[in-house]
Chains A and B, each alone.
Chain A
C-alpha cells in the first residue's frame, strides 16, 4: 500500500515537494536536491540543518530545545532532521540553500600560509563552475582515513566570485581535528575533493557606510574574497581591516594586502600582534585586536562592522563595537552555527 503523502511548500511556493508521511524533512529535502547544511547526518546533534516552518510544525523535540535558542524557536526555527512529516508543511529556506550543490574538484595547490594554516586551491570538476557571493562558505567532506570517520566541516571561501572554476580555502590545523588533520597530513595535490555549498548570508551590505573588518587566523578567508570582489566591481567604500595574530609568524597574505592597499586608497590594513617579543623589528600595532580597534575607533557609530573569527573573538568585538556606539544590527558575523 502506498504511504500517505504530504506537500511541502518552500518559500511561498517557489518550490513544492511531495513527501511520504513519516520521512524526516531533512531527508526529503536531500532527496529533492536541496542541500541543507548538516554535519551529523541527521542525528539531531550538530544543529546545522535549520529551516523555518511557518505552518504544520509538530512539537519541538528535546534535541531542538537544546540546540535552538528560545528567540529562534519563537521565530519558527526548527531542525529539519528532527521533523517527521505528518501534515502539509510550509517552510522557509535561505535563497542560498536552494542554490547549494554537490561539487567535486581536484586540489591544484596546497600552500602553507603559517605554521598552522594552509591554503587550498581547488579546481572544480563536476560541476565546473560555482556561483557565490563573497563571504559565503562551503562544507568540505573529509573521507575515512586511519579508522577515522568521514566528517564535514565548514570553511569560508577565500577566492573571489569571479574565479568561477576554483575554490580557495584557508584551513587551520585543529589538534585532533578530523577534517583539518586529513587536510594537513593526507590530502595531496591532484587528489579529489568533495564539497557542498555555497552557504551562508555573511556578505557585504549594499550600504555605503564605512566598514570595519575584524578577523583572526583563518577568519582571513572571507575578507580575502570580499576585498578582491570589491576591487573588481569597483566598490569604493572606506574599509579598515584589523587582523589579529599572536606574532609576525602568524601573519599571512601581508604582502598581497599591502599591495592591495597601494592600489586601493579606500582600504587600510591594520595587523595587530598580541604576543610579539618586545625587542622584535615589528613596527605595527601591538595588543589585543579589540583594544586596537577601540583605539582607532572610539566612536564607530557611523560604521558597519564585519567579523570572522572564533566565538570568543566575536563576543569581545561585539562588546567593543557596541561600546563605541555601533548599533547591533550593523554588526555582521558568521559563527558557523
Chain B
C-alpha cells in the first residue's frame, strides 16, 4: 500500500503552517519519503518492531499524562514529565482529525538525552511510519526511543 506521505497535499502540510510553527521536517533536507525509508532501515538494523515501539511510546505518554506534571521514573535513570496544554492540533494528513496538544518530555538523567512525545507524533509513527525530520522538536528517533524506553 502506498504511504500517503507521497501526496502533494501532505508534503505541503508538513511545512510550517498556522498550526505548526516549524512544521514536521525540521532542518532535514531529505524528502519525507527518504526520512521514512531511513528510519525504517535503522529500525530493521536494530531489530525494532514498529508495533512494540508504538506500544512503548503510548505507555510512557499515558503514565506521564496520568501524573499531571509530576516527574515520574519510567525505568532507572529515565524520567518523564507531562506538560499540559489546552487545545488541539490537526494532523498534517487530511482526514486524520485533531490531537491533544500536551507533551511528555522523556529524559535520560545521566546523559541528558531527551525525547518529546505528543499524541500526534505517536500517531504519525503508528500510521505512516513517519518519525519527523531531524531538527524537528517533536522528532522521535526510533533508535533513541528504544534505548530510553525499551
- B128 within 8 Å of A (CB atoms): no
- Give the distance in Å from the alpha carbon of A219 to the alpha carbon of B69 in the complex: 15
B67 to chain A: which residues have CB within 8 Å? Answer: 274, 288
Assess the A44–B94 pair: CB atoms within 8 A.
yes
CB-CB under 8 A from A154, the residues of chain B are 86-87
Interface segment among A63-71, A102-110, A263-271: the answer is: A63-71
Contact of A178 among B18, B88, B97 (CB under 8 A): B18
Task: Enumerate chain B residues within 8 angstroms of A67, measured Cβ to Cβ.
Answer: 97-98
Determine chain B's interface SS by DSSP, over half rule: loop
* Residues of chain A contacted by B88 (CB below 8 angstroms): 46-47, 335-337
In the complex, A335→B84 CA distance in Å? 13
Report the bound CA distance from A178 to B101 in whole Å.
13
**Known contacts A149-B17, A149-B18; is-contact A66 B68 (Cβ 8 Å):** no
When distances are taken between beta carbons in the complex, the residues of chain A under 8 Å from B17 are 149
Cβ contacts under 8 Å, B131 to chain A: none
- B19→A148 contact, CB < 8 A: no
Q: Chain A contacts of B85 at CB under 8 A?
A: 172, 174, 177, 310
Whether a CB of chain A sits under 8 angstroms from the CB of B22 is yes
How many chain A residues touch B (CB < 8 A): the figure is: 47
Partner of A46 from the list B21, B71, B90, B101 (CB cut-off 8 Å) is B90
Q: Are B84 and A309 in contact (CB under 8 A)?
A: yes
Residues of A within 8 A of B96 (CB): 66
B95 within 8 A of A: yes
CB atoms of B95 and A149 under 8 A apart = no
Q: What string of 1s and 0s marks CB contacts (under 8 Å) between B119-146 and chain A?
A: 0000000000000000001000000000
B66 within 8 A of A: yes
- Contact among B21, B84, B90 with A313 in the assembled complex (CB-CB below 8 Å): B84
Known: A40-B19, A149-B17, A312-B100. A289 touches B86 (CB 8 A): no
B55, CB-defined interface residue at 8 Å: no
A216 on the B face (CB < 8 A): yes
Query: Using a CB-CB cutoff of 8 Å, which residues 50-102 of chain B contact chain A?
Result: 65-71, 82-88, 90, 94-98, 100-102
Contact A312 B68 (CB under 8 A): yes
Return chain B residues, CB-CB under 8 Å to A335: 86, 88
Contact present for B102 and A310 (CB under 8 Å)? yes
Does B100 contact A311, Cβ atoms closer than 8 Å? yes
Q: Does A151 contact B (CB under 8 A)?
A: yes
B141 → chain A, closest Cβ, in Å? 18
Residue positions of B touching A, CB distance < 8 A: 16-22, 65-71, 82-88, 90, 94-98, 100-103, 137
